[in-house]
Amino acid sequence: MLKGKTALVTGSTSGIGLGIAKALAQQGANIVLNGFGEIEGPKSEVAAFGTQVIYHGADMSKPGEIEDMMKFAASQLGRIDVLVNNAGIQHVAPVEAFPPERWDAIIAINLSSAFHTTRLAIPAMREANWGRIVNVASAHGLVASAQKSAYVAAKHGIVGLTKTVALETATTGITCNAICPGWVLTPLVQKQIDDRAAREGIAVEQAQRELLGEKQPSLQFTTPEQLAALTVFLCSPAADNVRGVAWQVDGGWTAQ
Ligand code: NAD
Residue 161 has pLDDT above 90, yes or no: yes
What's the pLDDT score for residue 102?
98
State if residue 109 touches ligand 1 by the CB under 6 angstroms criterion: yes
Number of the ligand 1 atom closest to the C-alpha atom of 184: 40
pLDDT for res 76:
97
Residue ranges of E strands in the chain: 6-9, 30-34, 53-56, 82-85, 131-136, 174-181, 246-249
**Quick check: 175 pLDDT over 90?**
yes
Out of 35, 82, 137, 151, pick the active-site residue.
Answer: 151
For residue 240, pLDDT over 90 is answered with: yes
| 8 Å CB contact between 40 and 245 | no
- C-alpha 227 – ligand 1 centre gap (Å): 13
CA–CA distance, 204 with 107 (Å, rounded to integer): 30
98-114 mean pLDDT: 98
Residue 131 pLDDT > 90: yes
Domain 6-182+222-249 part of CATH 3.40.50.300: no
pLDDT at 67: 98
Convert the pLDDT of each residue in 147-157 to its tens digit.
999 999 999 99
From 14, 143, 156, the mutation candidate for ligand 1 (largest count of ligand atoms within 8 A of CB) is 14
In the chain, domain spans = 6-182+222-249, 185-221
CA distance 198 to 210: 13
Mean pLDDT along residues 35-61: 98
Instruction: Find the 34 Cα to ligand 1 centroid distance in Å.
Output: 11
* Rounded distance between C-alpha atoms, residue 24 and residue 3, angstroms: 10
Tally of residues, the chain: 256
181-232, pLDDT tens digit by residue? 999 999 989 999 999 999 999 999 999 999 999 999 999 999 999 999 999 9
Q: Is 55 a catalytic residue?
A: no
pLDDT at 188: 87
User: pLDDT exceeding 90 applies to what percent of the chain?
Assistant: 100
Distance of CA 195 to the CA centre of its chain: 23
Q: Is the pLDDT of residue 117 over 90?
A: yes
Compute the mean pLDDT over every residue in the chain, rounded to the nearest whole number: 98
The pTM of this model reads 0.98
